[in-house]
Structure 1
Amino acid sequence: MTLVAIGINHKTASVSLREKVAFGPDILGDALKSLAAQTRTGEAVIVSTCNRTELYTNQVGSDRLIGWLSQFHNLDEAELRQCIYLHTDQKAVQHLLRVSAGLDSLVLGEPQILGQIKKAFFDAREMGTIAHTLDRLFQHTFKVAKRIRTETEIGASAVSVAFAAVNLAKHIFDDLSKSRVMLVGAGETIELVARHLGEQGAGEIVVANRTLARAQGMAQEFGADAITLPQIPEYLPQCDIVISSTASPLPILGKGMVENALKKRRQQAMLLVDIAVPRDIETEVGDLENAYLYTVDDLQGIVQKNMANRLEAAEQAELIAQEQSLEFVNWLRGLDSVATIKQYRQQSEGLKRAAMERAIERLEQGADAEAVLNELANKLTNKLIHAPTQALSKAARSGDLDSLELLRSALGINDN
């Protein structure tokens, strides 16, 4: 049994190195086949995301894996070794369980990594680099990750401002699929908001930005409409939720603009979330009836509280990961014992068969039956006890009382 996991991640390597070690879709298939060829079992899984690249294999030395990784990407092996982490057997299992549960992620408890690991597994299975051991390992991983999500609060709380904004909208508008959302800005934060909205099944989305081209680029990715900032008053009355994050030095949504929109909405409630610094939405908007304004400070308070909750949940998740890694390794050790027992039985059967053939041959030659039986019993007994006798003698000579006692127990020897 030698499960091996090696990799680099956001904690051990720079972005530039992570880019060099990544496996894109165009090379993943060839890489899996090449990596599997390095092992005795032909098993390999490659997990490659923006924050990590990891190799999971069976029955191969770590030096060989590192050498393969550096050669495949044409990298300096010494430089790569400075950033690589290595885990074997139970530690490898525990690492995979931690990664799948989001315990090793840049954002603690983030759920996307599990989907990425599932894809890595399915890609490997499609390429034929999954056999019994890794199949069982990854199926076990998916089950444990689900258990951690169910039994702990590791993923229940928003720990980024973007996620907190969407979570807030979901609490106020129970069904986001029936809500129309306006996103003001087209930077990284708004892009992240759009992704979270998509995951929560948000209905119509409109992206407003200073430059239409940038808004259109984001809108195309998320199936949204694109408008410019001067068009906001026209579209605002149709929106239930507004989330804004721009680099504008002056507010973009004023009290008068929102007030007019609310009148056209017949005072139907509107949620406005301002996560920009400086602020995009005038403070006075919060004074309007049916306008519910939240700022980045409000969300930061939520994030800090939720992060504390996640840290507490992470402690529970770590215990589950440790316990379940041991359970898997015990199963794997059981496989080893089954294989050993099978081999021992085959060996004993071979000795018996050889002795029987010799006995039958002598009987056919007219030898005395009693003499043949005595010879059969003596030779078979001597051959069967030869290896245990040597092991007992070696343990006794070296004073290894623990091994001696184990051998006595295995051979059924007692003092009675």
Structure 2
Amino acid sequence: MTILTLGLNHKTAPVDTRERLTFGPDVIVGALRSITEQTPADEALILSTCNRMEVYCALDGSGGDAVLRNWLGEFHGLEPQLFAQHLYHYQDRDAVRHLLKVASGLDSMVLGEPQILGQVKQAFQTANAAGGTGRMLGKLFQHTFSVAKQVRTDTAIGSSPVSVAFAAVSLARQIFSDLSRQTALLIGAGETIELAARHLHQHGIGRIIVANRTVERAHGVAQQFDGYAIALTELSNHLPEADIVVSSTASPLPVLGKGTVERALKKRRHRPVFMVDIAVPRDIEPEVRELRDVYLYTVDDLQGVVDQGMRSRQQAAEQAAEIIDLHTEEFMAWVRSLDAVSLIQDYRSRAQYTRDSLVERAQRQLAAGKPPDEVVCQLAHLLTNKLLHNPSVRLRRAGREGRNELLEAANELFQLKIENDGSR
């Protein structure tokens, strides 16, 4: 049985190509059935996210990548030459290693990001419910989930900040040990603010307020994280509530001045405020840093934290790669054992057939009145000859032909070598 992976990701294909080859939730089940019906694949799973599209298959034999590539084009109504140069394909050991890297966050746009593992689990659940997975992919993906968990547990792959938003929240957690009692005021409604809101929400922030020039956009971010939206003109009214302020707008002028912050501090009775100005040009007047009880960081301040986090994750990635290599070999050993299982079953089946036919012959002899002792001895003699005939013939031939490797294999298989103490 061959394991095959065919796919593309943010490193190999531009976004317009990825968009044309994506599989939405409404078509994945039909696509899985189409793969197993129209290609040699016996099992299939599709992983489709904004940054990658991958098809995992289990099939007899090799060469399925060309068939799968053509299927991919037909399913999406595209000529293969339009996307073939963006595809990668892996087989067996390489396919297993690639999947383990993907699920562990080593192949992500943000090294070590945890969301991909949940997406892989969802892809498996979908394929399993649709009947797309069997013994091979079922074992592979359960093995993958276990390895990804070990990588998260045994390395620091996901603990260090590698984005400005993550760095801001990490610093906030250092200043306020318990975020559940704090209020965060987020100024802006772009991608960075949304990411900061997600990190704060994941770490149990008490309240989130989103302020933006367009209230509708602020509401779109706030509702995702149980927060509420305000207009930018209401900023001074809500600033005294904020223990954490993160600002990232496209305003050409500061949206928070020293005077506004000073008045808010008086209403807060000088309880400390943690402020992060991610905007370029800056949203918060630099003079705010002079105020007592204000911890103000800019994007330049956070960049050092981000760089250190990336170095830490790179070191963790090297440790994770060692874990992945070890468990790749462990899985491939299981795959190889399947061939032995089939061989053992065939060998036992043949031996049992020989035994049953000779027992039936012996029973007829006993029914005819032949002495039991004679029947038993003849049965043992015939069974031994039948079982040993073919191996003996082939071993003699191997000896004549000088095939020492086969003779050595027989020695190991049947434990025929005489040990140093003379026993067998």
* Fold agreement, TM-score > 0.5: yes
1:155 lines up with 2:158 in the alignment: yes
Q: Do the aligned partners of residues 398 and 214 (structure 1) sit closer, same or farther apart at CA in structure 2, a change above 3 Å counting? A: farther
Q: Pick one of 214, 217, 225 that aligns with 1:222.
A: 225
- Quick one: which amino acid aligns to residue 195 of structure 1? R
1:263 lines up with 2:266 in the alignment: yes
What is the CA distance between 1:59 and its match in structure 2?
A: 2.4
Q: Could you say which residue in structure 2 is the equivalent of 1:85?
A: 88
- Quick one: which amino acid aligns to residue 290 of structure 1? D
Point out where structure 2 has 5 or more consecutive residues left out of the alignment. Answer: none
Q: Is this contact kept in 1: 2:5–2:54, CA < 8 A?
A: yes
Q: Could you say which residue in structure 2 is the equivalent of 1:303?
A: 306
Mapping of 1:15-414 within 5 angstroms? Answer: 15-37=15-37, 42-60=42-60, 61=62, 62-63=64-65, 64-358=67-361, 360=363, 383-385=386-388, 387-389=390-392, 391-392=394-395, 395=398, 399-414=402-417
- Quick one: which amino acid aligns to residue 58 of structure 2? N
Q: Secondary structure at the match of 2:292?
A: coil
What is the CA distance between 1:370 and its match in structure 2?
A: 10
Q: Do the aligned partners of residues 259 and 395 (structure 1) sit closer, same or farther apart at CA in structure 2, a change above 3 Å counting? A: farther
Q: Secondary structure at the match of 1:25?
A: coil
What is the CA distance between 1:103 and its match in structure 2?
A: 0.7
C-alpha separation in 2, matches of 1:19 and 1:263: 52
Q: Is this contact kept in 2: 1:39–1:57, CA < 8 A?
A: no
C-alpha separation in 1, matches of 2:274 and 2:147: 38
Q: Is this contact kept in 1: 2:41–2:58, CA < 8 A?
A: yes
Q: Is this contact kept in 1: 2:39–2:68, CA < 8 A?
A: no
Q: Secondary structure at the match of 2:86?
A: coil
What is the CA distance between 1:79 and its match in structure 2?
A: 3.8
C-alpha separation in 2, matches of 1:187 and 1:398: 76
Q: Could you say which residue in structure 2 is the equivalent of 1:12?
A: 12
Q: Do the aligned partners of residues 135 and 277 (structure 1) sit closer, same or farther apart at CA in structure 2, a change above 3 Å counting? A: same
What is the CA distance between 1:395 and its match in structure 2?
A: 4.7
Q: Secondary structure at the match of 1:11?
A: coil
Q: Do the aligned partners of residues 360 and 93 (structure 1) sit closer, same or farther apart at CA in structure 2, a change above 3 Å counting? A: same
- Quick one: which amino acid aligns to residue 123 of structure 1? T
Q: Is this contact kept in 2: 1:39–1:59, CA < 8 A?
A: no
- Quick one: which amino acid aligns to residue 353 of structure 2? G
Over the matched positions of the two proteins, sequence identity in percent amounts to 51
- Quick one: which amino acid aligns to residue 120 of structure 1? A
Point out where structure 1 has 5 or more consecutive residues left out of the alignment. Answer: none
Q: Do the aligned partners of residues 41 and 24 (structure 1) sit closer, same or farther apart at CA in structure 2, a change above 3 Å counting? A: closer
What is the CA distance between 1:397 and its match in structure 2?
A: 6.4
Q: Secondary structure at the match of 2:27?
A: helix
- Quick one: which amino acid aligns to residue 255 of structure 1? K
Q: After superposing the two structures, state which structure 1 stretch, 259-268 or 227-236, moved more.
A: 227-236
Q: Secondary structure at the match of 1:87?
A: strand
C-alpha separation in 2, matches of 1:265 and 1:231: 17
Q: Do the aligned partners of residues 65 and 174 (structure 1) sit closer, same or farther apart at CA in structure 2, a change above 3 Å counting? A: same
Q: After superposing the two structures, state which structure 1 stretch, 211-220 or 149-158, moved more.
A: 211-220
What is the CA distance between 1:35 and its match in structure 2?
A: 2.8
C-alpha separation in 1, matches of 2:362 and 2:69: 55
Q: After superposing the two structures, state which structure 1 stretch, 47-56 or 360-369, moved more.
A: 360-369
What is the CA distance between 1:42 and its match in structure 2?
A: 4.4
Q: Do the aligned partners of residues 340 and 80 (structure 1) sit closer, same or farther apart at CA in structure 2, a change above 3 Å counting? A: farther
C-alpha separation in 1, matches of 2:38 and 2:389: 37
Deviations 1:27-61 (A, max 9, x none): 11222233344678843222111111112222244
Instruction: Give me the CA root mean square deviation.
Output: 2.7
Q: After superposing the two structures, state which structure 1 stretch, 286-295 or 46-55, moved more.
A: 46-55
What number of residue pairs does the alignment pair up? 416
Q: Is this contact kept in 2: 1:395–1:401, CA < 8 A?
A: yes
C-alpha separation in 2, matches of 1:274 and 1:395: 79
- Quick one: which amino acid aligns to residue 48 of structure 1? S
